[in-house]
Structure 1
């Protein structure tokens, strides 16, 4: 396959700006990134494709609005749902989010991931974590209690170990656990304990033995401490990351996906949900806001993680989340952009393949009208000129 060059563009490589330069790639492989010192200041810039470390691809992707709580996912056969999963991932890709991690996927998301990896369909890089949760836990309370078809749960250390092994056999890239209750689960409370410490330790032990990282859903300080002390690899939401936990998080460099936009929308009523869920979201936002600015100043490693599901946060709104992270944490534009590219890639174990523009890396990048590492408002879907994913132009034009 011939080399594809892109010349006289400003380049930000995932950690720093290198000035006007040239980017070249062959298939899904960057072959050259070099400063050329061309005269003048190029209008267009190139940055790595974004990496969203926390999404859920399983929702309805069609044109009709589907309110939260719709029975669509319960009554739609898997043979149909898989097309919606692929469509959601492709929607993210065309907006410049070229790598996503589905936290609570199953055989359907894994199938889509393999289809994209094999080039059968054009799509982003999709990583999938299988969930290990308890009966009546957060992960189990999205399905009405009398509905007969339910996702697997684990209610003892041995069951946890077996379920991890089953996910490994299916080819899952990691494991998701629930250390606390959640906002949208029915009849749940944020502060409820999910699984015993023995179950959590066993899940993490078995996952690590099989080479899989473990992400922990957590909305309070008690659950975050239990998960961190058990050896979890990332914290999702992290609402209760109070000051006493900051040294534990920073000393190990644990990434935290803050999921800001979705909780704001649930709390302020932008997304219509029941009063119980809205009240829980308001409490979550209040506690989060009391902790997060200090946590960021202390060096807690926040990375892009939106909880996008196609309803409350749509695929393609990740740019807005990055801008909100910069505002919430008091970050520079460049620090925010790092959190959505190179650091997010490192957080999901893909830092040697994506999130940077360098020879040998995958050819995932965005051409944008602006300098988002200097002004984070330039990170906007309306400013995207082109998106290249796995070396293929998937949106816009490279005729600059």
Structure 2
């Protein structure tokens, strides 16, 4: 058994005050009374509900001229897999101990199994496979001249077949699309993606196989389709109406707003096409007021960044939390809850991670100060130690 004698504990929901914390292997065994003055604090490891691990892992300043479209085309899958593993491990060392990849295939599922088996140190990794149509948002990430393309599905039966392929490969979720997107080439946000029959077949098959369904959408029409068809989460949700916000709040459906990446594209902070910058700028111009109103209506926002290493680096999840405070009007404590217990629940892990309590997985961060009280402390520079699966993977536990 390992223990910390006296730390201020934010358990993923609220401030418990000074406590002792004990864990054995990958299980928290006790949250007890303190035995001294609390010099440091403990929070659960962060949970990012929306990432893309198959991206260049060398950082934004070192991409060597490879943009997010070109790099996958000129890099063999074996090499991409190593970058994905490095991205996941970097996120873990910077305090993000659970990730959900929302564009996954057999590769991310395999990486997750390697981490689970302890072959390599790594975060908890969930893989969700995409079900998109020909000429849809996902398909338009690959230039039209490329013939070796990611799979698409263009009928209800084809959608069911692709869901079954991802289930057979060990993936635990499905990603769907009900609008166009920002970065996809030649795309329009207002474009329909899939027919209602195709979407209904996808959701039905996924739920029959116990898989959560996340829905990419930037439009009010796309959000309505997701609500009508019973999807489990909304990704982006930029064009949300107040009526839709009321329904989302009543049903408790989580929304990952991916704020920072769209800010960066709108300002062209990284090289993007004029088309992508224009689309993002139009979305962002109305987004903040809409989403703040949704937050006031009780919509359940959770941490989801769209990080892929090229726009958002792994570790930028902390910057996203600060942006959630700024845009949504969240307190630092609300932002942390959105990134820990609530995010864990959104990806189906609410009874195993994201909370500091006996029986939960031993994923937590030792930090300076009390970041749930002060937004300026939502910064990886304040991390003293990262414990993931019961092991110290970054920093060192205080004596």
Query: Counterpart in 1 of 2:345?
Result: 346
Deviations 1:333-364 (A, max 9, x none): 11111000000000010001100011111110
1:265 aligns with 2:264: yes
- 2:69 & 2:158 partners in 1: Cα distance? 31
Q: 1:19 aligns with which of 17, 20, 24?
A: 17
Q: Offset at 1:376?
A: 2.1
SS of 1:129's equivalent in the other structure is strand
Give structure 1 stretches of 5+ with no counterpart.
none
How many residues matched?
Answer: 396
- 1:109 & 1:83 partners in 2: Cα distance? 11
Q: Offset at 1:62?
A: 2.9
Query: Counterpart in 1 of 2:383?
Result: 384
Deviations 1:266-292 (A, max 9, x none): 101212201100000001112312311
Query: Counterpart in 2 of 1:35?
Result: 33
Deviations 1:25-53 (A, max 9, x none): 111111111232x454x221010000000
Give structure 2 stretches of 5+ with no counterpart.
none
Q: 1:56 aligns with which of 43, 52, 57?
A: 52
Query: Counterpart in 2 of 1:91?
Result: 90
- 2:287 & 2:206 partners in 1: Cα distance? 29
Runs of 4 or more above 4 Å deviation:
none
Q: Normalising by structure 1, what TM-score? A: 0.97
1:205 aligns with 2:204: yes
SS of 1:138's equivalent in the other structure is coil
- 1:129 & 1:280 partners in 2: Cα distance? 26
Q: Offset at 1:399?
A: 3.1
Quick check: 1:29–1:363 contact (8 Å CA) kept in 2?
A: yes
Query: Counterpart in 2 of 1:321?
Result: 320
Query: Counterpart in 2 of 1:143?
Result: 142
SS of 1:176's equivalent in the other structure is strand
- 2:58 & 2:299 partners in 1: Cα distance? 38
Q: Normalising by structure 2, what TM-score? A: 0.97
Query: Counterpart in 2 of 1:187?
Result: 186
Q: How does 1:132-281 map to 2 (within 5 A)?
A: 132-281=131-280
Quick check: 1:18–1:35 contact (8 Å CA) kept in 2?
A: no
- 1:79 & 1:247 partners in 2: Cα distance? 45
Q: What is the root-mean-square deviation in Å for CA atoms of aligned residues?
A: 1.1
Quick check: 2:5–2:36 contact (8 Å CA) kept in 1?
A: no
Query: Counterpart in 1 of 2:63?
Result: 65
